[in-house]
Amino acid sequence: MSKEVVIRAENVSKLYRLGQVGTGTLSHDLKRWWAMARGKEDPYMKVGAENDRTKKKTSDYAWALKDISFDIKQGDTLGIIGKNGAGKSTLLKLLSRVTSPTTGEIKIKGRIASLLEVGTGFHPELTGRENIFMNGAILGMTRKEITSKFDEIVDFAGVELYIDTPVKRYSSGMYVRLAFGVAAHLEPEILIVDEVLAVGDAEFQKKCLGKMGNVASHGRTVIFVSHNMQAVQSLCRTALYLKSGQVSDFGQTEKVINNYLSKEIKNCLSSEWEMDEAPGNDNIRMLGAEIAPHYNDKAEVMDVTTPFDIKIRFYNGADNALINLSLVLYTMSGVVIFNVGTKPQRLAKGVHESVLSIPGRLLNDDVYTISLYFVKDTATVLYVIDELLTFEIVDEARGDAWFGKWPGAIRPSLDFSIK
Amino acid sequence: MADHTKSNDADHWDISITSSRRYFDLNVHELWRYRDLLVMFVKKDIITVYKQTILGPVWFLLQPIFTTMIFVVIFGRFAKISTDDVPQVLFYLGSVTLWNYFSETLNVTSKTFSENATVFGKVYFPRLILPLSKVASGLVKLMIQFSLFIIAWVYYLFIKQAIHPNWHIVFFPLLLTLLALLSLGLGIIITSLTTKYRDLTFLISFGVQLLFYATPIIFPISMVDSDKQFWLWLNPLTSIFEAFKYAFLGRGVFSPVWLGYSTVFTLVAMGVGIFIFNKVEKRFIDTV
């Protein structure tokens, strides 16, 4: 069944200026104008560097998007995924006409409504009723359309009682529900949604997802941007994977997500050192460390169910020293998950190995890093190595309606049932 | 049949997002489609001003009353500036009301981009709707304030019989339109320029203050030496304020030539304004 293409992006690029905007604007503008006047290319367009936030900047300009082309067909649900800074938000801004591309063109068929933020244009002093009309109008609805949907919106948001109260008195949950309610009852041909599902409780998320699925099943097109692979997987038929401003993969959601996970999660899963360059001192030298997962399916992704070993190889420089290892597991945001130590042991001079086994269903989904301490005589720290390994554990495919991050530092599987 | 139309449809697009700018593309059709939004913005402007205040819309009236009282004391009593035999209260009240409309509209429209950056950054609607709504909500406020002038005017006209208005009053809607379009035109020029060159903001507030004294608001143009009057007429507001005074108070100058000049000036300002506003609206969000 060949469906109509409703969005077509052709070689879309977006150049951003780095650093302070304002200083030197006039001189850049003059140079640009001079180049144009002589019929030459914009001098600042050539120098734009690839958008990689980790690199030191080599130019004042960077391409947030570079040569993006894709087609979206009517009734498609497209998920846009990628790391922070990959250009997702820029692409959304372009699609929702908030800004325009530096080069290239996006062509759209039909009315488009975007939800880059819930409650855009909500005024705290206005009542719920007034804000529904205000917000609806900003999103492109006419008064008539809003009036006909009004009861449905109020019902969806569950705020009947407070409809004539200024929204500044609303709880944040009510506020978000009302805002999403307005947006969800828009009837555009194309709906663009940015991570709104991160807010609200599970019940409300279910409602939102249901509503979005509903929108899609009515032949309308939905574009959804999220960091949350679970949500993307369950909602979207196709996915677009952006990497450093370029399309890295585009196609069937599951394939794209797997590609994304295997490419983007830059795990430092193992390190090896030669004896002469190994970090450490005369007492201890780090020779190697490795995360060894025991995958249970063919998709080699470390999720919360995967058990794994942390293997450590080191050189002990003093014969018969009483050594113990102490390992601290941190999340990337710096929360200590645990600290485990080996029993102190008399070690011969030479290379030794140590293994820590971590079962599946213990750690939550997060990015972790390891610090390792070598302790002598249970008191003296001989050597410490930070960020020895870095690895990410991703969420498993869940069957429930909650798509937010699972709360908690750990995520053990405990016996919990209703008798 | 259905397949037929589908295959042909492929080259018809409703929206095209590119970097190329069609400068004079006013897109009236799109503005019209968003007319309900304009009404909502106007309502919001009016309602939010007096929410949670006891006096409510009365506040709109107090502002010109206070200003007029201050002017009567400072310019009338102390500085003894002539009001051309027109009762001082009436002389100041009328022009202050008009001036407030002009300067406030200019002030808010000249901040269109900077004040609404967050909304503009999240959702698309024709940006021109916002300054237009400010012009309209200003007009509503002006009408409320102008009723005060009318009351005073009727009092002086029928009870005191101190003024002699004439048929030129029919030009009042035109004068208001000129005032509205001029503030809008200048406002959108300023807001477009200030997105990139913030320095201008400081010049503007200074400029508006200067304009106050370069417009016959607290003085009649007859007070100025006749050889220097020409320079004052160059200010497009002069003919508007003088015509207003002539029509309502019987004193002042109704100059068709200079009104024509003001009209041309206003239209040029609007044209230039829409031109650069369109140019800036496409990408301003990257520079604010």
**Tell me, what's the ipTM?**
0.80
Residues of chain A contacting B125 with CB distance shorter than 8 Å:
138, 140
Chain B contact for A71, CB < 8 A? no
Paired tokens of A375: 């302790």
CA dihedral sign of residues A170, A117, A397, A223: positive
Query: In terms of pTM, does the model score above 0.95?
Result: no
Residues 29-58 of A with CB under 8 A from B: 29
pLDDT tens-digit readout, B275-285: 888 888 877 77
Q: Which of A69, A107, A143, A148 best tests the B interface by mutation, with the highest count of B CBs <10 A? A: A107
Which of A104-108, B15-19, B89-93 has the weakest average pLDDT? B15-19
Paired tokens of A3: 């469906």
What pLDDT score does B279 carry? 82
What pLDDT score does B42 carry? 93
What pLDDT score does A54 carry? 46
pLDDT band at B268 (very low <50, low <70, confident <90, very high): very high
> Which H or E run includes A372?
strand A366-376
What pLDDT score does B198 carry? 76
Mean pLDDT of all residues in B167-195: 93
d(CA A78, CA A236): 5
B274/chain A closest Cα distance in angstroms: 18
What pLDDT score does A76 carry? 87
Which residues contact residue A66 at a Cβ distance below 8 angstroms, ignoring those fewer than 6 apart? Answer: A13, A50, A51, A245, A246
| Residue whose C-alpha is closest to residue A363's, from A311, A401, A307 | A307
Helices of type H across A15-170: 25-37, 43-46, 88-95, 128-138, 143-157
What pLDDT score does B7 carry? 40
A14/chain B closest Cα distance in angstroms: 10
A107/chain B closest Cα distance in angstroms: 4
A406/chain B closest Cα distance in angstroms: 28
B120/A93 Cβ within 8 A: no
B122/A120 Cβ within 8 A: yes
Mean pLDDT of all residues in B165-185: 94
Tell me if residue A216 falls in helix, strand or coil: helix
B59/chain A closest Cα distance in angstroms: 18
The mean pLDDT values, 10 residues at a time, for chain A of 419 residues are: 79 76 60 67 54 52 86 89 82 86 87 76 87 88 90 88 90 82 80 68 70 77 80 84 88 85 70 84 90 79 88 91 92 83 92 93 88 90 87 78 74 89
Residues 158-217 of A with CB under 8 A from B: 166
What pLDDT score does B181 carry? 96
What pLDDT score does A404 carry? 65
CB B153 within 8 A of CB B90: yes
Q: How far is CA A329 from CA A176, A293, A312, A376, A412, in A?
A: 36, 16, 14, 21, 16
Tell me which residues of chain B have a C-beta less than 8 Å from any C-beta of chain A. Answer: 6, 9-10, 12-19, 33-34, 36-37, 39-40, 43-44, 47-48, 51-52, 119-125, 196-198, 282-283, 285-287
What pLDDT score does A200 carry? 58
What pLDDT score does A44 carry? 58
The secondary structure of chain A in percent helix, strand, coil, rounded to multiples of 5, reads 25, 35, 40
CB A186 within 8 A of CB A113: yes
Higher pLDDT, B136 or A118: B136
What pLDDT score does B288 carry? 57
Q: Which of B18, B47, B287 best tests the A interface by mutation, with the highest count of A CBs <10 A? A: B18
Mean pLDDT of all residues in B220-246: 91
What pLDDT score does B4 carry? 39
